Amino acid sequence: MTEKIMIISSLLAALALAAPASAARLARPDADALLLRALSAPATGYRAVERVQVFEPGRKPRALRLTRVASADGGVRLEIPAGRAKKASPLVYARRAGRASLLWPARSRYWDGPLQEEAPERSLRRLRAFYEVSVSTGGQVAKRKTWRADLRDARGRLRRSLWTDRASGILLKSESYRLDGALERRRRVSRLEAAAPEAAEFAPSAPAGVRATEWTAPEFPDPKSRRPESSAKDRLPRWVPDRFLLVDLRLSADGSRIHADYSDGASNYALTEEDAARPFAPKGARVVARDGAASLTLVEDAGRLSMAAVFGSRRYLVSGDLQEDEMARVLESVPGAP
Amino acid sequence: MNERDDERLTDYLEGRLDAEARALLEARLGGDAALARRLRLLRALRTSLSAAVPPAPAGLKADLRRLARARDAEAARPWWADLREALSGRSWAYGAGAAFAAAGVALVLRAHLPERPSVSPPPPTEIVEARSDAGAQTLQDLWSEDDGEDHDHL
């Protein structure tokens, strides 16, 4: 009898000791710590298979499948199948240490050049400037338990949700939403495995006979252009979201205005640079930040978002399929930005 | 948007508008996504035509416009009747045929060109134009239709 009591007492003691540990495991992490981990390079390299889906009103969803390789020193490599033919060489996008390259074998094109990088702490500050964050349990993604972070704008609208691996902190899934709440884009990892990628994977070289092109050269340059785009390239943003390409670039006759279109094939955005003295009073505009001669204005019109920044005598306007923090980062990377 | 708009856009692309008319049109382009898309299409058409067809005989453009108007007015008559007539026994017939073919190619390419976001600022006078390479893979080709479901399986 005494022996049974001792056994039961031991079990109860063990349960009592285990309970706090279990509660600690389930405790929701701090929102900023969670985001910072997701924005930072992973602790160890990995290789992931993922799908990006785009949802447009009145149109069937479209998807892009890709392989992502990431290294502990911040290297990222995306391989996107170039078509249904299995032997077709994939489109390869890679960035590491402030340099990005894109190799597109199907078009015999290769882009390479500097890309503005930033510390994850700065990305976090920008996110927190636009969104309130709440954390909850997120179910399983790629057979891993996740935390879910919901990002809401100043009006309380859900703009983005992020699912991060509880163990590694890696971002496994994200969804972005339109201003009306409809799903706009989803990225989801379906398979994730540890890897030790070589540094060369993050710096693909141009194939023989393919000339390297700067990021600031448009995808469809006009060889007969009377005014080469070189006069505009030094005025373009130094940061472009992953996979996006400059597809069209136009200048006004006097060179004072630039209009640049960027696309990843499914999402598009445009940037205009012009004299700040030009009339600018769109509906739904509100100034969200002001610092001396610099100001940031958010414009919501007909369910679409755009953002304008005035830096000294120049105004930059970005509009299209980007979220608030992405638009702000594009504008912050303009050469004239403070 | 009507035929007059097309003519105005064409004049705009060819630099034949005076400063006031150009400013008015640019203001309209800023608020009219359909008009901006039409400008994009016409620009692609022009580029495609200039790249694919030898120099057209003088007056060809006017003839093509007349053909288009006649086709609109004579809706009961099939469009290929006009085209056949246009292509028969004229010295510039082969050029016109090539122009129509190139326009067709450009229309197909148009479906692959990324659309400008609907909320976009007024585009400035174009100097550097988009050029589409016939047959080449586009960014849109990287995407395919999807079931839209949210699951781990690809």
For residues A319 and A306, is the Cβ–Cβ distance under 8 A? yes
pLDDT at B13 > cutoff 70: yes
* More confidently predicted of A149 and B6: A149
**In chain A, whose CA is at the least distance from the CA of B121?**
A272
Q: Which amino acid is at A242?
A: D
- Cα dist from A4 to A9, A10, A17, A181, whole Å: 8, 10, 20, 60
- From chain B residues 35-64, the ones with a CB under 8 A of any chain A CB are 47
Instruction: Count CB-CB contacts under 10 A for residue A211.
Output: 8
How much is the pLDDT for A206?
A: 85
How much is the pLDDT for B154?
A: 63
* More confidently predicted of A20 and B151: B151
pLDDT band at B96 (very low <50, low <70, confident <90, very high): very low
| Tens of pLDDT, residue by residue, chain A (338 residues) | 556 655 555 555 554 444 444 544 568 999 999 999 999 999 999 999 999 999 999 999 999 999 999 999 999 999 998 876 667 789 999 999 999 999 988 888 888 888 888 999 999 999 999 999 999 999 999 999 999 999 999 999 999 999 999 999 999 999 999 999 999 999 999 999 999 999 999 988 888 888 788 777 666 554 444 444 456 777 889 999 987 888 888 887 777 888 888 999 999 999 999 999 988 888 888 888 777 777 889 999 888 899 999 988 899 999 999 999 999 999 999 987 87
Residue B144 is nearest to which of A62, A106, A247, comparing CB atoms?
A62
Task: Report the C-alpha gap between A121 and A39 in whole angstroms.
Answer: 8
Q: Which residues pair with A301 in a beta bridge?
A: A304
How much is the pLDDT for A302?
A: 81
Tokens of A143: 């057979």
How much is the pLDDT for A194?
A: 96
How much is the pLDDT for A222?
A: 47
CA of A59 vs chain B CAs: smallest distance (Å): 10
CA of B109 vs chain A CAs: smallest distance (Å): 13
How much is the pLDDT for B36?
A: 79
Instruction: Count CB-CB contacts under 10 A for residue A236.
Output: 24
What are the chain B neighbours of A63 within 8 Å (beta carbons)?
143-146
What are the chain A neighbours of B154 within 8 Å (beta carbons)?
49, 51, 65, 190
Among A264-268, B44-48, B119-123, the least confident range? B119-123
How much is the pLDDT for B113?
A: 42
Q: Which amino acid is at B79?
A: W
Region B60-73: mean pLDDT is 53
Among A186-190, A267-271, B23-27, B104-108, the least confident range? B104-108
Task: Report the C-alpha gap between B108 and B106 in whole angstroms.
Answer: 5
- Cα dist from A135 to A41, A132, A149, whole Å: 21, 10, 4
How much is the pLDDT for A294?
A: 77
What are the chain B neighbours of A141 within 8 Å (beta carbons)?
152
Q: Do A268 and B117 touch (CB under 8 A)?
A: yes
What would the 3-class secondary structure string for chain A be?
CHHHHHHHHHHHHHHHHHHHHHHHHHCCCCHHHHHHHHHCCCCCCEEEEEEEEECCCCCCCEEEEEEEEECCCCCEEEEECCCCCCCCCCEEEEEECCEEEEEEHHHCEEEEEECCCCCHHHHHHHHHHHCEEEEEEEEEECCEEEEEEEEECCCCCEEEEEEEECCCCCEEEEEEECCCCCEEEEEEEEEEEECCCCHHHHCCCCCCCCCEECCCCCCCCCCCCCCCCHHHHCCCCCCCCCCCEEEEEEECCCCCCEEEEEECCCCEEEEEEEECCCCCCCCCEEEEEEECCEEEEEEEECCEEEEEEEECCEEEEEEECCCHHHHHHHHHCCCCCC
CA of A96 vs chain B CAs: smallest distance (Å): 23
- State the maximum Cα–Cα separation within chain B, in Å, rounded to a whole number: 63
Task: Report the C-alpha gap between B148 and B154 in whole angstroms.
Answer: 11
How much is the pLDDT for A220?
A: 53
Q: Write down the mean pLDDT value for chain B.
A: 58
Task: Report the C-alpha gap between A65 and A51 in whole angstroms.
Answer: 4
How much is the pLDDT for A40?
A: 96
How much is the pLDDT for A292?
A: 73
